Amino acid sequence: MRFPGRRDGRPVEAGRVPSARRVVQLRWRGHHLRTVGAPGSHETEGDIMIEVSVQSLAFDRKSNTPVVILKDTASDRVLPIWIGPGEASAIAMQMGGITFQRPLTHDLLVSIVGGLGGTLQRVLITRVKNSTYFAELIIDRDGHLISVDARPSDSIAIALRAEARIYADEALLESAAEVIDAGQEGGAEDEDESTMSGEALEEHLRGLRPEDLGRFES
């Protein structure tokens, strides 16, 4: 897996994770131990991961579903991912700097990782299958990397709280760009997706109770 760097405005390869650092991958519905570059591992030499940031949250009025918009930090490419209302609220609260007196679920997870001596190194959005995106949390603990299978929505919410970088497979960004370009060439205007205004977002967040969060599945 390669993580392009920046040089004179152009991406350069920064190299993949050193193979000496073993990665333990924890998979939902079974635990499998893998090393970097091992068959079935997403940390492979051929994959190029692009750093992205959370550009905004939107709302798809056609499906009544929130959308998180990830943007390539070095270009205008974006990756929209449809998520659940609870996770959207968790992301929005962190972006808006809204806190509660007691830790919520994603805050608790960050505290647990840190309390066990780990650091969230990065989040990887690796692939999509049957319209479902997959992600991994890469945790560094005493020089050993642990890869935890997770949903992108939870991963993004945790990354924002841990101030960890977020990466997406370049193939996902390319596929999203093709879909967007096709829509623009067809002259279609997307009126079903709209970003939340600052006032609307603040009003929505102020009306939330802690128990409302994490109730929905993405």
131 domain residue, yes or no? no
Structural domain span for residue 159: 1-32+45-117+145-186
In which band, very low, low, confident or very high, does the pLDDT at 99 lie, cut at 50, 70 and 90?
confident
128 domain residue, yes or no? no
3-class DSSP assignment, residue 70: strand
135 domain residue, yes or no? no
Ranges of H-type helices in the chain: 85-96, 105-115, 152-162, 170-185, 198-206
127 domain residue, yes or no? no
Q: Is the pTM of this model over 0.75?
A: no
pLDDT score of 51? 95
The token duo for 41 is 């591992």
Which among 70-84, 172-186, 187-201 has the top mean pLDDT? 70-84
pLDDT score of 59? 83
In which band, very low, low, confident or very high, does the pLDDT at 133 lie, cut at 50, 70 and 90?
very high
A 10 A CB-CB count for 128 gives 17
Is the alpha carbon torsion for 113, 85, 205, 211 positive or negative? Answer: negative
φ, ψ dihedrals at 108, nearest 5°: -60, -40
**Residue 75 is which amino acid?**
S
203 domain residue, yes or no? no
Half-sphere exposure of 149 (CA within 13 A, CB side): 15
What percent of the chain shows pLDDT beyond 70?
Answer: 61
201 domain residue, yes or no? no
Whether the pLDDT of residue 211 is over 50: the answer is no
Output 167 or 59, whichever has higher pLDDT. 167
Angle between helices 198-206 and 85-96 (to 10 degrees): 110
Question: In this structure, what CATH number is given to the domain that contains residue 50?
Answer: 3.10.690.10
pLDDT score of 216? 34
166 domain residue, yes or no? yes
pLDDT score of 177? 77
How far apart are alpha carbons 211 and 205 in whole angstroms? 13
79 domain residue, yes or no? yes
Q: List, as one string, the DSSP characters of 147-201.
A: EEEE-HHHHHHHHHHHT-EEEEEHHHHHHHHHHHHHHHHTT----SEEEPPHHHH
Mean pLDDT across the chain: 73
Half-sphere exposure of 151 (CA within 13 A, CB side): 18
A 10 A CB-CB count for 55 gives 16
Counting the structural domains of the chain, the total is 1
pLDDT score of 4? 64
Whether the pLDDT of residue 25 is over 80: the answer is no
pLDDT score of 161? 95
